[in-house]
Structure 1
Amino acid sequence: MPLSITNTDLQYEDQDLGFGSLSRVVLARHNHNGTYYAIKIMSKNQVISNKAVDLVMQEKEILGRLEHPNVVSIISTFQTDIELYYVLEYCNGGELLYHIEVQKGLDPLTTKWVTAELVNAVTYLHLQGVAHRDLKPQNVVFIHTEHGPHLKLIDFATAAVSTEQPRPLGKIVRTADDELEDLDDAADERMRSRWHAREAQGKRFIGTCQYCSPEMIIDCTATYSSDLWALGTVVYHMVAGTGAFDDEDSFAVLKRILSWKFTYPEGFDAGARTLCDALIVLCPTARLGVGPTGCAGDQLKAHPYFTGVDWDALPTQQLDVHLSEWEPAATQKL
């Protein structure tokens, strides 16, 4: 973070870029160099009351050590008496979710290039010992560069430095039946009470239910393998235009995930399907990209779906990506 920026250096635009459970992100322009930044603002009281101090500090530490063309950059941080501020790179191309919903699914070539850049970002994180733990279309944004649009992975609020290895399937199966029984009873309060009990043991539910892995639902465990499950569900969403486990009832979503209950719609791209089949796998140790001793990103990049991808040239390549017109207000309207 080479720049030192404070509130007096910024002119805030009347434009919200997004909201999180503990934050809001607004657009601001630097008074001296004219550069636009995304400013993440967090209330200190809210962070403390939600027992999220460690997560907030961890996000700052993780972003400060990451440097990759497909990962958002943190420029500076500062604070006032009541708020924390993260000055982040502004990505002016909108969220992946926006483009999926406007186009009702992306075309096969766009999906392939977006997936390749996502793989680039995720494998980099894993080699750095970082699990994102909330990979979803809302946390993938685009930036227009001299080489055309490229993506950035954002929102490391629940990311973690993790050396924990994925557990084999057997340890999940032994507890899955109990979880499914709770879900069959539609026991909202019972499920929440179980999660509260896990929090008391130092565990907490992390992520977004439509993209979360079975191991997160069962015992609030998320490793880099959980990112690979989420990657598969994001690819599915790009192709189909809807999520693999979508349901209006959140607990029905969880039940679908634990039951591995999803189908491919007619016309689903065959190459993307083989990749999804290798990632949306119940057993955490059986997902493509999980090696015997850790992350196996090379295996993931070698999948036939990525034939023709020049991984070294990818960040500066002019990609054949078709995106919709976007302005900051568009996401909120949608």
Structure 2
Amino acid sequence: MGALCCRPQPVDFEGDVNLFHFVLLRCVGKGAFGKVRMVQHKQTRELYALKYINKTKCVKMKAVANIIQERRLLEEIDHPFVVNLRYAFQDDENCFFVLDLMLGGDLRFHLERLGSLPEDTVRFYVAEIASALAFLHEHRIMHRDLKPDNILLDERGHAHLTDFNIAVHFSERRMLTGIAGSMAYMAPEILAKRGYTYPIDWWSLGVCAYELLFGRRPFRGKTNADLTYSISKDSLRFPDDADKKCSRAGMMALKGFLDRDPSKRLTCKQNDGYEVMQRHPWFHPIDWVALEAKELPPPFTPDSKKANFDASHELEELLLEDNPLKAKARKTRDVNTLSAEMRQMEEQFASYDFKKMLRRSYYPQNQQIISTITATSSTGGLVSSRPVTPAPDSPAEGVVHEHDESEFDGDDVRMEKMPRVLEKNYS
């Protein structure tokens, strides 16, 4: 009888997705709300990244709306160079995002290890992320937090954009004014509070490209005020040995991305700005059709025998975690007895299974179903659903919360020192 009592319960793969559907593997990241685990789907054997967010911490940090918005926005996105959502669900303690697994580490990890990257490598990453940004902008989505920390490599070496915690829908009819993002990568129009839209992402890509090439950012400051002045006023300068690391065409591309006039910024000069960027001399070596089909061999293949992330998270999980993650059956309870925030998560953080459900928009202007998703390997190519998502501005929080300039504090100075927030690697 004892053996029968210990026999595991069969998993209902036909029902709503839950944690029982996955085998929990190593911990690969940690953030403010929870951790990131590598997991394997018990039925398909596919590997994924599981990001789990503690509901109580989420309420305390007043981030409930952001978590729900991120969950909804990710359902609208499917692109070869984005860390895509595959499943979403919740239990009594946590909300879960199951995302494409990126085993190659983030570009911050590799930049700190190498100091700088070769021009051909940087051009390849910039081209792949530019493809992702063009897709987002076509569907009225701004990322707003592009930086090396949020660019992840898969096991083959392809770059993927992640962390949509402060991504937002935009409309040309209504400029955004909230300050949000990582300050060192913010476009000058954000700091000027004169209103901004999608060109801010291309500025951030330019800052990333400069940093990857030269091992330093183009605009720096020891304080928030100094950094704001540098981004807003300082002329773009290159290191003395820049010509040894970057071609003249590359420097011209950087100048194009880092033009303070959003209307003159590379990719933003006219309606076909992305095509203009593709024809820029720096990108002449890129076969864009082959690139977007993931047929170009990446210039760098991550070492699969080494951990491309901070291995201390696994040790911390084993030795220090008071409440280790495990699958638990949900309790029956009346949602009316929950706090308003907990009830909001219960009702609005809906389950999602990319093999069973349709990607759709949650916004009034676009209530139609977008398309079905073709199931593929979590690390292989994807069949893009190409959603259309025009929508008005909506509030969001992130590394810098949207607020008045008077509220800037020491948190923003820490951004200049670039702490690694690994939980965001799979956001």
One-letter code of the match for 1:213? Answer: A
Give the counterpart of 2:171 among 151, 163, 166: 163
Across the aligned residues of Structure 1 and Structure 2, the Cα RMSD in angstroms comes to: 2.7
TM-fit CA distance, 1:290: 1.3
Give the counterpart of 1:51 among 44, 62, 81: 62
Q: Say if 1:5 and 1:295 are closer, same or farther in 2 by CA, change over 3 A.
A: farther
1:149 matched to 2:170: no
Relative to its length, the structure with more helix (as a share) is 1
TM-fit CA distance, 1:328: 4.4
1:9 matched to 2:9: no
Alignment of 1:136-285 (within 5 A): 136-144=147-155, 148-164=156-172, 204-219=178-193, 221-268=195-242, 269=246, 270-285=248-263
TM-fit CA distance, 1:233: 0.3
Give the counterpart of 1:62 among 65, 73, 77: 73
Alignment partner, residue 109 of structure 1: 120
Q: Distance in 1 between matches of 2:169 and 2:204?
A: 18
Contact 1:289 1:299 (C-alpha < 8 Å) held by counterparts: yes
One-letter code of the match for 1:284? Answer: P
TM-fit CA distance, 1:18: 4.6
TM-fit CA distance, 1:323: 5.0
Alignment of 1:95-106 (within 5 A): 95-106=106-117
One-letter code of the match for 1:5? Answer: V
Q: Say if 1:135 and 1:265 are closer, same or farther in 2 by CA, change over 3 A.
A: same
Give the counterpart of 1:94 among 90, 105, 111: 105
- The higher radius of gyration belongs to 2
Give the counterpart of 1:327 among 307, 311, 317: 307
Alignment partner, residue 371 of structure 2: none
SS at match of 1:313: helix
Alignment of 1:298-317 (within 5 A): 298-314=275-291, 315-317=293-295
Which stretches in structure 2 are left out of the alignment for 5+ residues? 1-13, 314-419, 421-427
Give the counterpart of 2:39 among 16, 28, 31: 28
TM-fit CA distance, 1:320: 4.7
Alignment partner, residue 325 of structure 2: none
Q: Say if 1:58 and 1:321 are closer, same or farther in 2 by CA, change over 3 A.
A: same
Contact 1:25 1:41 (C-alpha < 8 Å) held by counterparts: yes
Q: Say if 1:295 and 1:86 are closer, same or farther in 2 by CA, change over 3 A.
A: farther
SS at match of 2:237: coil
TM-score (norm 2): 0.63
Cα deviation 1:292-328 (Å, max 9, x = unaligned): 5x57211222211100311111132232513553514
TM-fit CA distance, 1:274: 0.7
Q: Say if 1:275 and 1:239 are closer, same or farther in 2 by CA, change over 3 A.
A: same
Q: Distance in 1 between matches of 2:33 and 2:178?
A: 16
Alignment partner, residue 174 of structure 1: none
Alignment partner, residue 52 of structure 2: 41
Larger RCO of the pair (alpha carbons < 8 Å, separation 6+): 2
Which stretches in structure 1 are left out of the alignment for 5+ residues? 168-201
Contact 2:81 2:159 (C-alpha < 8 Å) held by counterparts: yes
Alignment partner, residue 376 of structure 2: none
Cα deviation 1:52-110 (Å, max 9, x = unaligned): 33322221222111111111110110112232111111111110111122111111111
SS at match of 1:318: coil
Q: Say if 1:25 and 1:253 are closer, same or farther in 2 by CA, change over 3 A.
A: farther
Q: Say if 1:235 and 1:8 are closer, same or farther in 2 by CA, change over 3 A.
A: same
TM-score (norm 1): 0.79
Relative to its length, the structure with more strand (as a share) is 1
Identity of matched residues, %: 24
TM-fit CA distance, 1:261: 4.6
